[in-house]
């Protein structure tokens, strides 16, 4: 994959998305989202966590998950936390205690590019053929 940065959309550095909100990265026509950072937890006091009860600085790096959901697309929308994000967090050893309020801290850039759809054919018993499609970055 070759990416060439021709234009970039600046986003709050990085953006806090509180629980029960939606993360909605969006680029202009002809551009695709490239996730650059994504942490989920209780990293600092800010918009989503307003009071320090003596427990801050826990979090899970969820960049791979958000990259798989959003990078290479013009836009995406994720409820925070969605089930996939919950699964990533549950498997992490450094997650925050459930009693504490957590949030997503994420940022992305927009790069000139386009999305493609690749189609793979699969044969199954009985000779029935199904098509599975997945988008790929160029």
CB 135 within 8 A of CB 76: no
Answer yes or no: is 5 within a domain: no
Respond yes or no on whether the N-terminal peptide bond of residue 81 is cis (omega within 30° of 0). Answer: yes
What averages of pLDDT result for each successive group of 10 residues across the chain (138 residues)?
45 74 94 95 88 79 95 94 89 83 93 62 46 43
Domain of residue 36, residue span: 15-113
Other C-beta atoms closer than 10 Å to the C-beta of 27 total 21
> How many domains are there within the chain?
1
Prediction pTM value: 0.71
Query: 87: domain CATH number?
Result: 2.60.120.740
**pLDDT tens figures, 54-64:** 767 788 999 99
């Amino acid at each position: 994959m070759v990416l060439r940065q021709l234009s970039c959309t600046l986003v709050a550095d990085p953006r806090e998305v509180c629980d029960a909100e939606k993360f909605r990265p969006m680029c202009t026509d002809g551009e695709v989202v490239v996730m650059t950072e994504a942490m989920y937890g209780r990293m600092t006091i800010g918009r989503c966590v307003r009071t320090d009860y003596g427990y801050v600085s826990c979090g899970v790096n969820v960049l791979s998950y958000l990259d798989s959901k959003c990078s290479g697309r013009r836009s995406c929308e994720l409820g925070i936390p969605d089930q996939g994000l919950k699964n990533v967090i549950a498997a992490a050893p450094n997650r925050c205690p459930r009693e504490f309020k957590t949030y997503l801290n994420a940022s992305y850039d927009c790069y000139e590019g386009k999305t493609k759809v690749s189609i793979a054919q699969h044969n199954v018993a009985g000779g029935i053929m199904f098509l599975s499609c997945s988008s790929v970055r160029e």
